[in-house]
Structure 1
Amino acid sequence: MSGTTSRRRLLGAGTATAAGLALATTGSPAQASTRPKPRPRAEQVKLPAGKEWIGRKSANGWAVLDEATKYRVQGAPKLTVRLAKGPAATALLYVVRRYAYEIDTLRPEELAGHTTDRTVGVDFESNYLSGTAVAIQPMLYPLGGTAANGMSELAVTVVEDILADVGEVVAWGGELDPLKQSHFHIATPPGDRRLEALADRIGDWNTRPGKGAGGIDAFNRSRISRSRAAKNTR
């Protein structure tokens, strides 16, 4: 990885101080980052008990998998995730890489993908069964968490910039009901041309300096304007 792709913008979480949320673009992540604390259960919305997902497809229309391909997250040592093979993995890995580069350095236990556990809290959690969803720091941003006690404004700015890149292909749990800010899933059905086109664009970005994950400034005025416009269309 080049110096550009190893650059981090460590943003902390909603409980961090304004000083702790300063744009830390240099230095060791361990020195620059103040890791947020887990949210107490009392600050979550009360949800119904989990249920067993019995369908052969997940809520987004993808086939439930007995096993999924293991992918290494580029630029994040020892970080791996299991996902559905193909363009779905390309799109979700792009989300994970940008999160790890620009929001917080991730530990292996803070990233989850495919699972065979059919117990879900809400329908969109069934998308983990098909390997078409990831949960990033789910202990910090659980299902039913509140936005007021969730991601910082700066972290949300980065996520919204990512969503502007992925268009209608990836949905974010921070815009779903109930809220789950750690959750991202493929929102298009298998074989959808929008997903395939996004995977092609990501492949192209990865070969062009300043275009792919690790070379983006989500706080550039033009990108903020673009992400706000994209948000208004969702």
Structure 2
Amino acid sequence: MSNDLEGLTRRRFVSTLGALAVVSTTLVHLPDNAYAAVPVLGGPNGPTSENGWPIIDGKSLKPMALQGSDATVTVVSGAVATILEHVLRRFHYEIDTLGAEEVYSHSDKVTGGVAFESNYQSGTAVAIRPTVYPVGVAGGFFPNELLIIRDILAECDGVVSWGGDDRRNPKEGHFQIDVPPRSHLLGKVARKFDQWDIASRKGAGFEVDPFAPDRLAAAAELKAKQAPE
């Protein structure tokens, strides 16, 4: 990308975020035990999804409204919900507005045939507009939008992976928890996002600059781990 184009993209991006700089984020602080590692339901021999999480009955989950949008999402409560909500809210505020029924989440049945789609059955993955960003199709985002996605992933410290990084079966609207249920990183990252939303005005909806050198470096470092060339 030329310097002129990069500057134009950056100015356009930052000006867009400027309109979102003051977004209400009235969230309820969760107790520390809400971030505890989630036990594997049904024992170690129970069915699990591709990422190692237990497959669960959707009746045990409650849909939650995605703050600031008309979308709802049904995922495992606690740390998983906090983290995936952060991903979705940044997408909504910084890439494209999410409407009702535009986020696919928990499902008791998955028919796509791609291994990572089983993670919907465990309530640990979401798909934004799966008909717009279907399996096997890449190139659905502009460069500045990809930059935001990489920045979001870097904020998640490797806890979340992106379906667009699957070389054989990319699914660019897909985001999933990519650590096991007992990972200490779940609580660490969820607590960080919760604290951002409450106190530091760093959470989804507040202005960030993904072009900042430290953020670009963090995004590049994580990409090298999750999607090596």
Smaller-chain TM-score bracket: 0.7 to 0.9
2:155 paired with 1:165? yes
2:203 paired with 1:220? no
2:130 aligned residue: 138
Please, what is the CA RMSD of the aligned residues? Answer: 2.2
2:52 aligned residue: 61
Deviations 1:149-190 (A, max 9, x none): x11111100000000000221110011131101000111111
More helix by share: 2
Residue 27 of structure 1: how far off its partner (Å): 6.5
Residue 109 of structure 1: how far off its partner (Å): 2.1
Retained in 1: the 8 A contact 2:110–2:120? no
Retained in 1: the 8 A contact 2:74–2:123? yes
Structure 2 Cα separation of the partners of residues 194 and 109 of structure 1: 30
Letter in structure 2 aligned against 1:65: I
Structure-to-structure mapping, 1:98-109, within 5 angstroms:
98-109=90-101
1:36 aligned residue: none
Structure 1 unmatched runs, 5+:
1-17, 29-54
Residue 79 of structure 1: how far off its partner (Å): 1.6
Q: Which has the higher contact order (CA 8 A, sep 6+)?
A: 2
Q: TM-score, normalised by structure 2?
A: 0.75
Structure 2 Cα separation of the partners of residues 233 and 118 of structure 1: 28
Structure 2 unmatched runs, 5+:
1-7, 21-45
Structure 2 Cα separation of the partners of residues 226 and 208 of structure 1: 23
Retained in 1: the 8 A contact 2:47–2:54? yes
Residue 146 of structure 1: how far off its partner (Å): 2.3
Residue 219 of structure 1: how far off its partner (Å): 3.2
Letter in structure 1 aligned against 2:89: R
Q: Identity of paired residues, percent?
A: 37
Change (3 A) 1:109 1:233: same
Structure 2 Cα separation of the partners of residues 118 and 143 of structure 1: 13
Retained in 2: the 8 A contact 1:161–1:218? no
Residue 101 of structure 1: how far off its partner (Å): 0.6
1:112 aligned residue: 104
Change (3 A) 1:144 1:218: farther
2:195 aligned residue: 204
1:155 aligned residue: 145
Q: How many residues end up aligned between the 2 structures?
A: 187
Retained in 2: the 8 A contact 1:91–1:202? yes
Retained in 2: the 8 A contact 1:158–1:218? no
Structure 1 Cα separation of the partners of residues 87 and 56 of structure 2: 21
Residue 216 of structure 1: how far off its partner (Å): 3.5
SS for the counterpart of 1:134 is: strand
Change (3 A) 1:184 1:74: same
2:66 paired with 1:73? yes
Retained in 2: the 8 A contact 1:83–1:132? yes
SS for the counterpart of 2:74 is: strand
Retained in 1: the 8 A contact 2:160–2:178? yes
Letter in structure 2 aligned against 1:98: R
Retained in 2: the 8 A contact 1:166–1:198? yes
Residue 221 of structure 1: how far off its partner (Å): 2.1
2:201 paired with 1:186? no
Deviations 1:58-113 (A, max 9, x none): 1111111111221111122x321111122111111110000001000011121110
